[in-house]
Amino acid sequence: MTHLPAEIPPLAEVFDTMRVVSIPTRTRFRGITVREAAIFDAPRGPSEFSPFTEYADPESAQWLAAALDFGWCEQPAPLRDRIDVNATVPAVAPAEVAGILARFPGCRTAKVKVAERGQSLAEDVARVREVRVLMGPTARIRVDANTGWSVHDAVAALTALAQFDLDYAEQPCATVPELVEVRQRLAAAGVPVRIAADESVRKATDPLAVARAGAADLIIVKAQPLGGVSRALEIVREAGLPVVVSSALDTSVGIAMGAQLAASLPDGTLAGACGLGTVALLDGDVTETSLIPAQGSIPVGRPVLSPLLLDRYAASPERTAWWRERVARCHALLAAHG
């Protein structure tokens, strides 16, 4: 279901505000080394459209709906002015973990990528062990498999990783029935690992199916994939589960949208630090005041775009044309639904 802003701005107006950037990552993340995004200098403040390049238009249109909503529509009033964030550790070797954690000063929670294609469970265990050693016994550690395991492999892996006192495991398997089975098998074996649903919420035609099925202990919500802050708040209310707000390796503009969502959640809804510190994994940004963690948190508010940085990280004419065509197609889909 595509959530639409109250009024979709004309495509010509959207194009007038749009710049496309291409920013290197500090570390390979989700298989990419360059993050591309369309940035809008919109009437309500900067906004971002940055679905990963492999996402098809129907899914990407939801991201555009979020960008248009954030850039052209009034947002819910925030209830807090700072958001605690977690460190994000890509699927790196243990020797690289300390350098990654150093980019997240003050963070007492870490999310560690596991189940990377081509890597082994032993590598996952070594990475998580190193995070635990470096952060100490009181830190929270989460793992994120991005649907990378079968039910059998998920149960085996989480049984092995449970020794590190995990906060939760994010999306160990792809489908809702698989998540249900993983939870049941872990409970039967006495393995105390909670399950969080991410892709089963943001990529689902019915984002509430995971809650109805009892497939997760908490949900991960992301503003862009869910169609914007207001739509994500609706999903959280209807799901009735604890929430962690996360991001998709956005620039500070996209992170500001996520922070707005986290700041607007009712008291008692957030299940710990949010995954909104990932600007620290980029080797550049579109603002001089990047939303990188300081003392374990980031401020709520819109960054000011830097013309200098927009020029420095401007995408090539070919890539800019590719994004303009993508925005036009997604805009047409939104207009057709309107």
The string of pLDDT tens digits covering residues 21-68 is 999 999 887 788 999 999 999 999 999 999 999 999 999 999 999 999
Distance in angstroms (rounded) separating the CA atoms of residues 190 and 140: 20
The string of pLDDT tens digits covering residues 66-85 is 999 999 999 999 999 999 99
Q: Is there a binding annotation on residue 69? A: no
* Residues 333 and 65 sit within 8 Å (Cβ to Cβ): no
Distance in angstroms (rounded) separating the CA atoms of residues 107 and 110: 7
Q: Render each residue's pLDDT in the chain as its tens digit; 338 residues.
A: 445 556 799 999 999 999 999 999 998 877 889 999 999 999 999 999 999 999 999 999 999 999 999 999 999 999 999 999 999 999 999 999 999 999 999 999 999 999 999 999 999 999 999 999 999 999 999 999 999 999 999 999 999 999 999 999 999 999 999 999 999 999 999 999 999 999 999 888 899 999 999 999 999 999 999 999 999 999 999 999 999 999 989 999 999 999 999 999 999 999 999 999 999 999 999 999 999 999 999 999 999 999 999 999 999 999 999 999 999 999 999 999 86
Catalytic pick among 3, 111, 202, 222: 222
Quickly list H helices, 173-316.
176-188, 199-202, 209-212, 229-239, 252-264, 307-312
Catalytic pick among 103, 113, 132, 326: 113
Domain with CATH 3.20.20.120 in the chain: 82-299
Distance in angstroms (rounded) separating the CA atoms of residues 190 and 80: 37
Neighbour count for residue 107 (Cβ, 10 Å) = 24
* 82-299, CATH topology level: TIM Barrel (3.20.20)
Q: Is there a binding annotation on residue 170? A: yes
Catalytic annotation present for 111: no
Domain with CATH 3.30.390.10 in the chain: 11-75+307-337
3-state secondary structure of 263: helix
* Residues 278 and 255 sit within 8 Å (Cβ to Cβ): yes
Pick the CATH number of 11-75+307-337 from 3.40.50.1820, 3.30.750.200, 3.30.390.10, 3.30.460.80: 3.30.390.10
Q: Decide: pTM greater than 0.75.
A: yes
Q: What is the pLDDT of residue 1?
A: 42
Catalytic annotation present for 222: yes
Q: Is there a binding annotation on residue 198? A: yes
